Structure 1
């Protein structure tokens, strides 16, 4: 488990090649990553006892936990790869250093959830509520279309980076129609993310990597773009562009795509 936790932490820093190597360094075919040591009935029994459920460190991959009330649960370092949590209530849950590879969390309630070091590549969060959540983790290729990420706290904390730059990784994530009002994504990776029609009102994108991202039709009123890298980004038909903050301080602005192709 210590090795898996360390792998997650290192994944948040360094170039893409190093991140990929660290993921491959974990034994993804092992029972710890693919099997479940408990059943849905076992977890329902824990819920029935009352109080927050403690599932920290448990192997729960592949389980159907959809619709369960797990608000405030402790799932720190748990493995839920390919698990179904559709509509599950995880409000305020501790998901730090947990694994959700290819998990289905569509429509789940994750408001205020702590996700430091989470591994959620290829997971489905469509329509989920992640408002005020702290997703400092890897969501590469995940689906967050229509999700509520208002007030999300995903910015890098430069005062606490002893293991490298810990930040939200939304590389190639589907954020179409997502609500990101007031979200902190300072220095986050949003390269090649699909942000078409997203609401970025008052979002903090200071130093974020938006290279290759598609922001067509997004609302950027009040959003902070200082030092955001927009090389190859599609900045077409934006709403509130005239009210975006530090718009002139973007990096590689001359390389952004600002007109729709004919």
Structure 2
């Protein structure tokens, strides 16, 4: 309880100092990531597994792990689908092939977590901290994501139909949006994803499938789009400063490229 109140206090101070910043995305500068709260677990894998099995036999068939400390455990292959993982700590946890379909992971901590081949189909990841997470081959299709995925590896990940756009209706806690700064999205499937106002500065998007993406007002400064599929992509007010663009044929399939910002500063194909 004391830690949650401290987080709330720090977040409000950050918000007052910079009203355009997302509350949960300002916490890293004020939280000790080496503290026991962020690095230790209060449960064993066996105990977590027992809770999951008990929940699967209950009326709601969902597990409640809100606020639990589960960092650095091996929880690979476990099924958390539909569960409440609000504020859970899973930093550096092995979650390979784990399932979080329809689960709520709002404001959860998964920094440096191994989520290779994990499934987050239609999960809620609002204000979630996932810096440097390993999400190669993970499935985030249809998920609502305003998480910080800076430096994360999403090679071959599936984000089809995912919503990483900024929440423009509720900004009382700052501008919440998907942050993929310097993330590795090579060969990822982002078809039909909503990336309006998302932050993809210096993201690696080589050969990614961006078909029918909404990139309205997104930040792609310095991003590498070599070989990307841009069919139907909306570039209205997208920042393309220093971005590496794909072939002329790929660009011809995009929409509103002439309305992009800093297009003259992008690196055009030969």
Encode CA deviations 1:109-159: one digit per residue, 9 max, x unaligned.
110010000000010011000000111011000001100000001111211
Shift, 1:20, TM fit: 8.8
Shift, 1:13, TM fit: 6.8
Contact 1:217 1:239 in 2 (8 A): no
Q: Which residue of 2 aligns with 1:159?
A: 169
Contact 1:236 1:257 in 2 (8 A): no
- Name the CA distance, whole Å, in 2 between partners of 1:120 and 1:101: 5
Q: Does 1:25 align with 2:35?
A: no
Q: Identify the structure with the greater strand proportion.
A: 2
- Name the CA distance, whole Å, in 2 between partners of 1:13 and 1:6: 15
Contact 1:167 1:188 in 2 (8 A): yes
**Structure 1 unaligned blocks of 5 or more:** none
Q: Which residue of 2 aligns with 1:96?
A: 106
Equivalent position to 1:215, from 225, 247, 255: 225
Q: Does 1:36 align with 2:41?
A: yes
TM-score using structure 2 length: 0.90
Q: Does 1:148 align with 2:158?
A: yes
- CA 1:19–1:64: 2 relative to 1, 3 Å: closer
Contact 2:24 2:127 in 1 (8 A): no
Q: Which residue of 2 aligns with 1:201?
A: 211
What SS does the aligned partner of 2:264 have?
helix
TM-score using structure 1 length: 0.93
Alignment root-mean-square deviation, CA: 2.2
Contact 1:98 1:117 in 2 (8 A): yes
Shift, 1:14, TM fit: 4.6
**Structure 2 unaligned blocks of 5 or more:** none
- CA 1:197–1:44: 2 relative to 1, 3 Å: same
